[in-house]
């Protein structure tokens, strides 16, 4: 007897809904095992990591704050992945958005500029991210260079560019030689939703983007085109859709959203530019996109869960003395389980008798 995969007659809707939940459950089980290996009480550790943040109002707000960039980036990435376009450089587009948007805050610092600064920053951030994403897209459609590798390489370049700017030309002269720009003025800061909280307007923008993506994917020709090119590229070509043009469009949208996330993040939570403004949002958003089944509403839920892993990781670092890298381990394991469970949507397991004879010629 052996276990083999067998294609289902049609997609299993039940599995499509349940598979992310199975993946999360398996991640928690593996997490318990990992904590035990690290010599921590597994149940207690899981409680601190995954449940205690949910009971603390401050931590709940912080989850929403961390989920905001994840939602924005992941919605854009999901459009790419649906169209079978592999933008994995969202981290770089996020940083460039923070740079181009943050530039305006630095340039207008102390000039008494009016309330147009923040909206203009958001536009510049989105444009910067889109322009940066255009590079791998054009290299792909014009020259056939793998967008996976070029978009990823540009992440390293963006990190070095940000490092150069905050240590060099943009460094705050009054900053005691720390590699940061001057603190943004009030007109360049994202307004908070509730007085005294860290929850900011970016969360509303993220919700609007989710609503837009839901309508765009479900009700417009562009949404149909994206799904068709990804699912049946040959049929899409016969239908007159250009996969090259779609590669450019999806890269532009996802780059703009990642750039927007970048400028929102610096104007809302960091308030200046510095070398490390992202704990890897651009990469975590890839996991969010898949855990959310490349569906805008699903992404919203998935982003909240991955934001929880960031917060839980931080509190576990303090109270359990485990390295912060544990968060990345959980995130990697989660993505593996999500991808593994997705197989069950298209396939089922069947026990087959052991093969008797080998057919054909050897």
Partner 1 sequence: MEFVEAVLLTVITASTPLLLAASGELVVERAGVLNLGVEGMMIVGGACGFAGAYLTGSIAIGALCGILAGAALSAVFAAVTLGLAANQVASGLALTILGVGLSGLIGAGYVGQKIDGAGHLYIPYVTDIPLIGKVIFGENAFVYFSIALLIGIWYFLYRTRAGLILRAVGDNHASAHALGYPVLRIRMLAVLFGGACAGLGGAYLPLAYTPFWVSGMTAGRGWIALALVVFASWLPFRLMVGAYLFGGITILQLHAQATGLGIPSQLMSSLPYLATILVLVAISWVRGRRGSPAPASLGLAFVPDR
Work out which of 287, 299, 303, 345 binds partner 1, going by CB under 8 A.
287
User: What CA–CA distance (Å, rounded) separates 219 from 195?
Assistant: 38
3-state secondary structure of 359: coil
Query: What is the contact mask toward partner 1 in residues 309 to 338, using x (rule: CB under 8 A)?
Result: --------------xxxxxxxxxxx-xx--
Q: Which is nearer to partner 1, 148 or 304 (by Cβ)?
A: 148
Of the candidates 49, 16, 30, the one whose C-alpha atom is nearest the C-alpha of residue 306 is 49
Using CB under 8 A as the binding rule, whether residue 362 contacts partner 1 is answered as yes
Of residues 64-123, those binding partner 1 (CB under 8 A): 81, 86, 88
Q: Which is nearer to partner 1, 149 or 187 (by Cβ)?
A: 149
Q: Which is nearer to partner 1, 157 or 301 (by Cβ)?
A: 157
Using CB under 8 A as the binding rule, whether residue 52 contacts partner 1 is answered as no
Q: Which is nearer to partner 1, 35 or 184 (by Cβ)?
A: 35
Q: Tokens 């009971």: give the residue.
A: 55
User: What CA–CA distance (Å, rounded) separates 193 from 214?
Assistant: 24
Using CB under 8 A as the binding rule, whether residue 286 contacts partner 1 is answered as yes
Q: What's the token pair of residue 192?
A: 């908070």
Work out which of 39, 112, 168, 196 binds partner 1, going by CB under 8 A.
168
Is there a contact between 150 and 139 (Cβ–Cβ < 8 Å)? yes
Work out which of 22, 28, 113, 157 binds partner 1, going by CB under 8 A.
157
Is there a contact between 80 and 288 (Cβ–Cβ < 8 Å)? no
3-state secondary structure of 349: strand
| Residue 66 Cβ vs partner 1, minimum distance, rounded to whole Å | 17
Q: Which stretch binds partner 1 (CB under 8 A): 3-11, 61-69, 221-229, 242-250?
A: 3-11
Q: Which residues 6+ apart lie within 8 Å of 96 measured at CB?
A: 128, 129, 131, 132, 158, 161, 259, 262
Is there a contact between 282 and 87 (Cβ–Cβ < 8 Å)? no
Using CB under 8 A as the binding rule, whether residue 340 contacts partner 1 is answered as yes
Using CB under 8 A as the binding rule, whether residue 23 contacts partner 1 is answered as no
3-state secondary structure of 323: coil
Instruction: Please work out the total of residues on this chain that contact partner 1, with binding judged by CB under 8 A.
Output: 54
User: What CA–CA distance (Å, rounded) separates 227 from 333?
Assistant: 27
Using CB under 8 A as the binding rule, whether residue 143 contacts partner 1 is answered as yes
C-alpha distances in Å from residue 110, one per residue of 104, 105, 255: 12, 9, 30
Of the candidates 265, 260, 256, 259, the one whose C-alpha atom is nearest the C-alpha of residue 310 is 265
Q: Which residues on neighbouring strands pair with residue 3, listed in sequence order?
A: 351
| Residue 278 Cβ vs partner 1, minimum distance, rounded to whole Å | 14
Q: Which stretch binds partner 1 (CB under 8 A): 2-10, 21-29, 53-61, 207-215?
A: 2-10
Using CB under 8 A as the binding rule, whether residue 160 contacts partner 1 is answered as yes
List contacts with partner 1 (CB under 8 A): 4-5, 7, 38, 81, 86, 88, 139, 143-146, 148-150, 152-154, 156-157, 160-161, 163-164, 167-168, 283, 286-287, 290, 323-333, 335-336, 339-340, 342-343, 347, 352, 358-362
């Amino acid at each position: 007897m052996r276990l083999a995969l067998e294609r289902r007659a049609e997609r299993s809707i039940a599995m499509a809904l349940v598979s992310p939940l199975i993946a999360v459950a398996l991640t928690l089980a593996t997490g318990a095992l990992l904590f035990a290996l690290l010599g921590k009480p597994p149940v207690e550790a899981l409680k601190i990591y995954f449940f205690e943040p949910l009971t603390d109002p401050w931590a709940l707000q912080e989850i929403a704050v961390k989920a905001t960039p994840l939602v924005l980036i992941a919605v854009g990435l999901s459009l790419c992945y649906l169209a079978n376009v592999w933008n994995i450089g969202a981290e770089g587009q996020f940083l460039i958005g923070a740079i181009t948007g943050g530039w305006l805050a630095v340039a207008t610092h102390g000039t008494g500029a009016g309330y147009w600064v923040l909206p203009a920053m958001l536009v510049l951030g989105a444009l910067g991210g889109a322009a940066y994403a255009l590079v791998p897209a054009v290299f792909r459609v014009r020259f056939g260079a793998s967008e996976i590798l070029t978009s990823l390489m540009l992440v390293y370049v963006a990190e070095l560019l940000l490092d150069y700017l905050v240590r060099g030309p943009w460094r705050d002269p009054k900053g005691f030689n720390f590699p940061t720009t001057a603190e943004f003025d009030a007109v360049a800061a994202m307004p908070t939703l509730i007085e005294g909280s860290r929850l900011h307007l970016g969360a509303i923008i993220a919700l609007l983007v989710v609503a837009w993506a839901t309508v765009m994917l479900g009700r417009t020709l562009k949404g149909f085109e994206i799904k068709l090119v990804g699912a049946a590229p040959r049929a899409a070509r016969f239908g007159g859709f250009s996969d090259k043009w779609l590669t450019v469009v999806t890269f532009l949208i996802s780059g703009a959203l990642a750039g927007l996330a970048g400028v929102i993040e610096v104007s809302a939570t960091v308030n200046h530019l510095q070398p490390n403004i992202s704990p890897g949002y651009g990469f975590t958003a890839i996991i969010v996109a898949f855990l959310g089944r490349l569906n805008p509403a699903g992404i919203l839920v998935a982003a909240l869960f991955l934001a929880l892993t960031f917060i839980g990781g931080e509190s576990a670092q303090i109270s359990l003395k485990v390295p912060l890298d544990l968060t990345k381990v959980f995130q990697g394991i989660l993505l593996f389980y999500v991808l593994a469970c997705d197989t069950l949507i298209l396939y089922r397991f069947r026990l087959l008798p052991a093969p008797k004879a080998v057919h054909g010629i050897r």
